[in-house]
Amino acid sequence: MTLTTASVQIPNGDLALDAYLAQPPAPGPYPAIVVIQEIFGVNAHIRAVTDRLAALGYVALAPALFQRTAPGFEVGYSEADTQQGRKYKDLTTASELLGDIQAAIDYLKTLPTVKASPVGTIGFCFGGHVAYLAATLADVGVTASFYGGGITTFSPGGGEPTLSRTAEISGTVYCFFGTEDPLIPNDQVDQVEAALQAAGDRHRVFRYAGAGHGFVCDQRADYRPDAAADAWKKVQDLFRQLQ
């Protein structure tokens, strides 16, 4: 399928957020999904996910969440890249991130190719945490959170851990974790699952035995094709709720 892709800017008060937009070729309208970056910026992996969603019949938008501190930041997966990305992640705050995701949603609503309905979000690593946080927004109907670190232990910028906001989620959340993830202990996954179960039986937590961090990214050493394929099927099932 030939997609329509573009680099766009999203207005957010005094800030203009860079973003990558991918759309199906026909005029639509289509459901919309916000793709939330890892600490590595809106890089080739995030753009590939955005394209993949557009090929399935969604308008997908990936905003640059480090715009305030590192505009244009995009790196790979080396140790140096990881250290730099963590530095910028630590400069984010929950209120700014929520504002950025809401601005992305508001932008999507202005597009004639987007149908009026709740939006979906999908995020990876740092973006998995942000996706869980953004699930508290009223416009978010479905959330796919992949190996979101620190959900049980902190909130960006400080304050009570993001997990404490689970009761504010009105949509449906699917979380995906690897059992061998060195960054997310299994007892933290247990806490996420317990909080989501308490919030409603529509939520799901999926664990992949033997998988580490980043298991759905084919550019990372921890890539697990079988686990990635299974998780992608579950994401498609989730996002069909938007159609």
Catalytic residue, chosen from 45, 129, 203, 213, is: 213
- Residue (of 128, 131, 91, 89) closest to 214 by Cα position: 128
- Please state whether beta strands 59-63 and 32-36 pair in parallel, antiparallel, or not at all (unpaired): parallel
Q: What are the residues facing 18 on neighbouring strands?
A: 9
Catalytic site includes residue 203 = no
- Residue (of 93, 139, 161, 119) closest to 29 by Cα position: 119
Catalytic site includes residue 125 = yes
Catalytic residue, chosen from 100, 181, 203, 222, is: 181
Catalytic site includes residue 100 = no
Catalytic residue, chosen from 18, 45, 125, 217, is: 125
| CA pair distance 243, 224, nearest whole angstrom | 29
User: ∠153-93-20 over CA atoms, to 5°?
Assistant: 110
Handedness of CA 225, 229, 232, 234 (dihedral sign): negative
**Residues designated catalytic:** 125, 181, 213
